[in-house]
Structure 1
Amino acid sequence: MSGHALVIGEALIDAVHRADGSVQRHPGGSPANVAIGLARLGRDAELLTWLGKDDDGALVVDHLEGSGVALCEGSQDAPATSVATATLDASGAAAYDFALEWALSADAVTRPEPLVVHTGSIAAVLQPGADAVLTLMASSRETSTVTYDPNSRPSLMGEPATARAAVERAVRLADVVKVSDEDIEWLAPGEGVDRVAQAWLALGPAIVVVTRGGEGATAWTPEGRVDVRAPKVTVADTVGAGDSFMGGLIDGLWGAGVLGAPQRQALRSLDLDTVSAVLERCARIAAITVSRAGANPPTLAELDA
C-alpha cells in the first residue's frame, strides 16, 4: 500500500537528567518520535510542527531529516523551540517537565490526502494549537485513517478531569487509539484500565490498544480482545518506548492494507490473528527502543535482523 503519513504535533529538545548526574540534550517530542519511527520503518512521513529558527530548532530539523522525515512548510514559525526536561530514576523511568508553546502556523502547508494522519500528546490538548489539531483530525477523516495517542503530560494538562474531556474529544475522531495503562490511571483514577479502554472503543475507534510496559499490550476491536506479551530485555531507559510502539502500530496496519478512509470498514473488521501479529511486532519494536538510551526506534533492517 503506497501513500504517505502526516504526523501533527510537537517537536522539541529533550534535556535528559540521568540518575548518575549526567545531562544530555537531544531532539524529542512524542509526535516527532512517531514520525521518525515510521520513516525508519521505510514509510513516507511528514511532520507538521512548531519550531523556532534557532540553534535548538536546527538540531531538531537535522535529526528529523537524518531519519528521512519531511518537515511541512510553516513548521518553523515559532518564536523559539520548546524544551522538555526528563529526569530519569534509577530504573530508567522518566518524569517530565516542560517549557513550551504549541500552535500551528496559519501558513502551514501539507501534502494532500495522506493515507494516515497521526497526532497525540500535547498537540491535541494544549491551546492555542489544540483546536486547530482537532479541526484537522475531523477534516482528515474524509480521506485518511486517523490515529491518536493521548501520551499524557500531567504537568501541562491540568486536572485529570479537564484533560480527560479534551482527550476524549480526540478519541471520538480517531480510528485507532494507543494509550498506556499509566495514562488511563491518571485520566480516570479508580475506574479500571480495561473498562475505560472498552468505553473509548464505544466512542467510535476501530481499535483501542493499551500498552502495559514490560507486561505487554492489549487491543480491543469490534471483533474481540487480543493480549500480547512484551519481550524480555535489559532496559536502558523507557524514553520513546510508547512512541516507537505507536509508529509500529501504524506501520503494521499499513502493511495489513487497512489504512485510508476507503478501508475504514476493513479496519473495523480486522481479524484478531492479524491484530495479534501487529501487536507482537510493535512489542518487539518497543523492546529494541528501551534496550538503548533515548528515543531511538529501530530501522526496518534492525527489526528484521
Structure 2
Amino acid sequence: MKKHIFVLGESLMDCIAQPDGQLRPLRGGSPYNMARAASLRGATVHYLNPLSTDSFGQELGAQLEADGVQISPQRSPRPTSLAVVQIQNGQPSYGFYRESMDVNLRPQVAGDVKAYANAIRALLPFADWIKASDEDLQTLGFGAARLDAAPALAQALQAACAGAASRIALTFGGDGAYLQVDGSSAALPAPRVAVVDTVGAGDTFWGNCVADWVLGHSASTEATLRSAMQAAAINCTRAGCQPPRWSEVQAFASGA
C-alpha cells in the first residue's frame, strides 16, 4: 500500500537581509520546507495548512505545486507571516511578524524560556519520531549538545519521551548528525561544502529522512543519515531554503 506524508505547520516568507541592507524575500517555514524536501526526495506529500490569499500565499502555493506537493484548496484571508533573517557567519537569526501558528521551538519569542521549554517537554511523550538540533537540545535542558555525546543525548530524549519515540534525529550544524532507528544508530560528520547560509538545512535533512522511511529505499540507518546529510549540504550552498531533487543528491554522492 502506498504511504503518504501529511504536513501541518506554518508557511512564511524569509526576508533575508542582504549586504546592501535590502531584504530578499524567499519562501520558507519549517513544515513548508520539510514538505518540499520530502516531495523532491520522491514521497507523496500533502501540505494541509491553508495558504494566504495574498501574493505571498500565491507564490508559496505555486512553489509547493511545482515541487509535487499536494495542497489544500482552502485559503485564508490573513496575511502571510514574515521572518526577517539576519545572516552572520552563515548562521541565521530570526525576527518574526506572524499571523500564523508557529509550532517550532522559538526561545527568542518566549517571555519565560524555562516555562516555554517545560511546555515543549510535556509534549514529547506524544511524539513517535523526533528531530532536534543542538540549539533545541540546549533550550530544552539536555545540557551541552555535541556530536560525540549524541548517544547519551538520544537516551535522555528517549527517557523524556517515556520511550514513545522509535526514531530520533539529532543535528549538530557543521559538526554532523546522529540518527537512531529502533535498535540501530549512526553518527556521521557533515559533508564539506561552500556554505551560502544554513536556512532550512535541518528541514531539508528531516524531510529526506522521513521520505526515505516512507519510501523504504535505504538499506540501513547510516544510509538514510548519509543521504539526508548530503541533501542538507546541497541546500547550504544556496540562498534560503532550496531543497535538492533526489537526482542532485545522487550526483553529489557520486562526486559528479
Short-chain TM bin: 0.7 to 0.9
Seen in structure 2, the aligned counterparts of structure 1 residues 257 and 171 have a Cα distance that, compared at 3 Å, is: farther
Q: How does 1:205-216 map to 2 (within 5 A)?
A: 205-216=165-176
1:201 and 2:147 are equivalent in the alignment: no
With over 3 angstroms needed to count, the CA separation of the structure-2 counterparts of 1:189 and 1:78, relative to structure 1, is farther
Q: CA deviation at 1:225?
A: 3.9
Provide the residue aligned with 1:152 in structure 2.
Answer: 105
The one-letter amino acid of 1:69's match is V
Query: 1:37·1:248 contact (CA, 8 Å) conserved in 2?
Result: yes
Against the structure 1 CA distance between its residues 227 and 17, is the aligned structure 2 distance closer, same or farther, given a 3 Å change threshold? Answer: same
Q: Give the match for residue 88 of structure 1.
A: 87
CA distance in 1: counterparts of 2:143 and 2:205, whole angstroms: 26
TM-fit CA distance, 1:291:
1.3
Alignment of 1:299 onto 2:245: yes
- Counterpart of 2:235 in structure 1 is 289
Counterparts of 2:145 and 2:245, CA distance in 1: 35
**Structure 1 equivalent of residue 254 of structure 2:** none
Tell me the distance in 2 between the aligned counterparts of 1:192 and 1:86. 24
1:255 offset after TM fit, Å? 3.1
Q: Secondary structure at the match of 1:232?
A: coil
* CA shift in 2, pair 1:99/1:303, >3 Å: same
The Cα offsets for residues 114-142 of structure 1, whole Å up to 9 and x where unpaired, read as: xxxxxxxx23xxxxxxxxxxxxxxxxxxx
* Cα gap change, 1:299 to 1:172, in 2 (>3 Å): same
Aligned Cα root-mean-square deviation (Å): 2.2
Q: Residues 11 and 4 (structure 1 numbering): CA distance in 2 closer, same or farther, change over 3 Å?
A: same
Name the amino acid aligned to 1:80: P
Partner residue of 1:268? none
8 Å contact from structure 1 (residues 50, 81) kept in 2: no
Residue by residue over 1:155-205, the C-alpha shift from the partner in whole angstroms, topping out at 9 and shown as x without a partner, is 334433222233224422222111101111122174656455322213110
Equivalent positions of 1:1-305 (< 5 A) are 2-74=2-74, 76-89=75-88, 91-103=89-101, 122-123=102-103, 151-188=104-141, 190=143, 194=150, 195-202=152-159, 203=161, 204-223=164-183, 225-256=185-216, 274-305=220-251
Aligned partners of 2:85 and 2:92: how far apart in 1?
6
Q: Do 2:137 and 2:143's aligned partners in 1 also have CA atoms closer than 8 Å?
A: no
Distance 1:304 1:196, change over 3 A: closer
Tell me the TM-score normalised to structure 1 length: 0.73
Deviation string 1:49-97 (CA, Å, 9 cap, x unpaired) is 24321112112112212212121243x22422111111111x1210001
For residues 301 and 4 of structure 1, the distance between their equivalents in structure 2, rounded to whole angstroms, comes to 21
**Higher relative contact order (CA closer than 8 Å, sequence separation 6+):** 2
Please list the CA deviations of residues 200-232 of structure 1 after superposition, one character each: whole Å capped at 9, or x if unmatched: 213110021110111111124552542112111
Distance verdict in 2 for CA 1:171–1:73, change over 3 Å: farther
**Matched residue count:** 244
Q: TM-score, normalised by structure 2?
A: 0.86
The one-letter amino acid of 2:80's match is T
Whether the aligned pair in 1 keeps the contact of 2:3 and 2:215 (CA below 8 Å) is no
Change (3 A) 1:68 1:158: farther
